[in-house]
A = this chain, B = another copy of it.
Amino acid sequence: MSSTPRTARGRATRERILKSATELIAERGIAGTSLDHVRALAEVSKSQLYLYFPDRETLLREVASSTCDGVLDGQADILADFHSPAGIERYLDALVELQFDFERPSGCPIATLAGQLDPQDEQARLILADGMDRWEAGLREGLEQMRDGGELKPGTNPSKLATQTLALLQGGLVLARVRDDAAQMRLAADTALALIRSAVLE
């Protein structure tokens, strides 16, 4: 999107800007991040910002996109195991661990951004929705694999089960963040595990 640099130097600069913006916003929120902060962290000048991004709004949308990519990339390896009871348990454990790992539970970066972006900005919403869709697709595909392998009770709807799982995870992340208590995520993940187990044969 936006203007694409033609030289390697330009590409590196653009990357540095986007990475800095994404980092700062994850830490301090959109309201707490000015273009000047981004400029300083990325070590670029004002004109570079505006050479690669037409305006702040566009940069924010790209940050949204890059945030989604970060969330998805960050769980790609464990999500790949989400197609057996043991793999599902490992996946959920890993998500819970993430909330315990830092000083305080940070919640889901996608959902957090959703609350910060201009409610009028439909384009931004679509970017975040796509992130959620990709996440849910990962869950659904694992469950479909199990269904195709005859591991699920007949009548189980992998698509619906994936949405239910994602809802539980998102809810757990919200509660963990608001209550500053990662155990809330633990409980939500356990509930999701039980829900899935109840659809597994044996």
Contact = CB atoms under 8 A, between A and B. Distances in A.
B171 A129 contact: no
A12 interface: no
A178 B128 contact: yes
Nearest to A163: B187
A61 interface: no
Contacts of A170: 170-171, 174-175
Interface string A90-121: 00000000000000000110111111101110
Contacts of A175: 132, 163, 166-167, 170
B184 A114 contact: no
A178 B111 contact: yes
**Chain A contact patch, size range:** 35 or more
The number of times this chain is found in the oligomer is: 2
B118 A29 contact: yes
Interface of A: 27-32, 107-108, 110-116, 118-120, 125, 128-129, 132, 160, 163-164, 166-172, 174-175, 177-180, 184, 187-188, 191, 195
A99 to B, nearest CB: 13
Contacts of A160: 187
